[in-house]
Amino acid sequence: MQQTARLQELAWNNPYFATTLKPLDPIPHPVYFVNSNPKWQDFLDNPNLIENPESLYQRCVKTNDIWSVQSYLDLKLRGLDVHLVSKAVPGKICVIPHYFCRPKDLLYRSYVVACSHDCPRSHLCEQRLVINRSQVLADTDHFITHRPQPNLKPRDPARSTQIRNVVFKGYDHSLYAPFKSPEFVAALAAIGMKLVVNSEASGANMMADWANYTETDILLAVRHNTVFDILRKPALKLVNAWFAGCPAILGPEPAFQEIRQSELDYIEVRTSEEAIAALKRLQSDPDLYVAMVENGFKRAQDYTVDRVAQEWRDLLAGPITQGYEQWQKQSPLQKHIGRPIHYAKRVLAQRQATKEYQYKIHHGPRIL
């Protein structure tokens, strides 16, 4: 009873629900977020739909939506001079998800800031935003924290410290095979637990399942990606677990390790046997379970939407503005001849980066 009461008290103060929408300091220049997917045409035609942002956030399913519409909403709702458009605006700062940076769009006419999410390195741009610090390779690369899952539903504290559901949220092929094997499932059953995989099998409900932690007792995320691939992924699964009030058992991913401050942040495992041992430990030590939940809520305070929105604003008002103003000052010769020539070189570099990415995400050393 004491532990249940403590979990309920913590849930009442979950920082996920402390969003203020406090207006941010203005940015020097308007910024245009680009999403060319026709599914957003209704929003482009009727900007007043922002008055019901929850429904718009629910539609931000793919990474292209997250790094355009979702980011636009976060900043617009805090008073910044940002705009959502279907194509790059010549002469303006345009924030574009990598897969919407297309050579045919002649992007040299705009000051492009590419969002290099889980993708090849972007070259059709002036600056890049990356979600893993290992991808900061130049002065024009900037790390941006991935904001937590929209419309997240935390774990029900009435479940107390019981551990029944060990949940993986992601595509089925991403969970390392030993952690979904019959042997692992049987080992879970032997201690009164079951594996729940919220994956593409959920169909249209997949994203809703990913955001719903109400019956998630432990978050499990152990992937077998190549090192090249994993170095492009954010620490989002861990941050979401903190906000959800769920202890996490995770693989040895650099993004998780980078932000880890104590053993209460998460339990790292490399084998299914280590995962079973960790689960038995949490099962036999309810105080440890509560301590991990409490610590998670404390850590989550640094990853709120308000904090991430401030991070966006500071990047746009700082290095992005500085680069844009220098770009504007280029000579007519640079603008009309130099930019197109340089763009052609960038197109070739982008093709090479795409080939490299498509090969190396499947070939090469793996983290496990």
Q: Cα–Cα distances in Å, from 27 out to 93, 179, 249, 316?
A: 12, 47, 40, 7
Q: Judge whether 320 and 93 are in contact, CB under 8 Å.
A: yes
Phi, psi dihedral angles at 50 (to 5 degrees): -65, -15
| pLDDT at res. 209 | 86
Beta strands in 82-192 (DSSP E): 82-85, 93-97, 111-116, 127-130, 141-143, 165-169
- Angle between the 286-300 and 236-244 helix axes, to the nearest 10 degrees? 110
pLDDT tens, position by position, 17-28:
998 999 999 999
Report which of residues 172 and 82 the model is more confident about. Answer: 82
Above pLDDT 70, what percent of the chain?
98
CB atoms within 10 A of CB 64: 21
The yes-or-no verdict on residue 203 having pLDDT over 90 is: no
Statement: the pTM of the whole predicted model exceeds 0.85: yes
Q: Judge whether 17 and 163 are in contact, CB under 8 Å.
A: no
Q: Summarize the confidence of residues 108-128 as an average pLDDT.
A: 97
pLDDT confidence band for 331 (50 / 70 / 90) = very high
Is residue 295 left, alpha or beta, with left meaning phi > 0 and alpha meaning psi from -120 to 50? Answer: alpha
The token duo for 289 is 């379970």
Is residue 285 left, alpha or beta, with left meaning phi > 0 and alpha meaning psi from -120 to 50? Answer: beta
| pLDDT at res. 274 | 99
CATH class for the domain made up of 157-303: alpha beta
pLDDT confidence band for 108 (50 / 70 / 90) = very high
| pLDDT at res. 201 | 55
Amino acid, res. 219: L
| pLDDT at res. 323 | 99
Q: Judge whether 111 and 31 are in contact, CB under 8 Å.
A: no
| pLDDT at res. 198 | 84
Q: Summarize the confidence of residues 213-242 as an average pLDDT.
A: 98
Average pLDDT for the chain: 96
pLDDT tens, position by position, 254-311:
999 999 999 999 999 999 999 999 999 999 999 999 999 999 999 999 999 999 999 9
User: Can you give the residue ranges of every domain in the chain?
Assistant: 29-148+305-360, 157-303
The yes-or-no verdict on residue 202 having pLDDT over 60 is: no
pLDDT confidence band for 62 (50 / 70 / 90) = confident
| pLDDT at res. 200 | 57
> H/E element holding 314?
helix 305-315
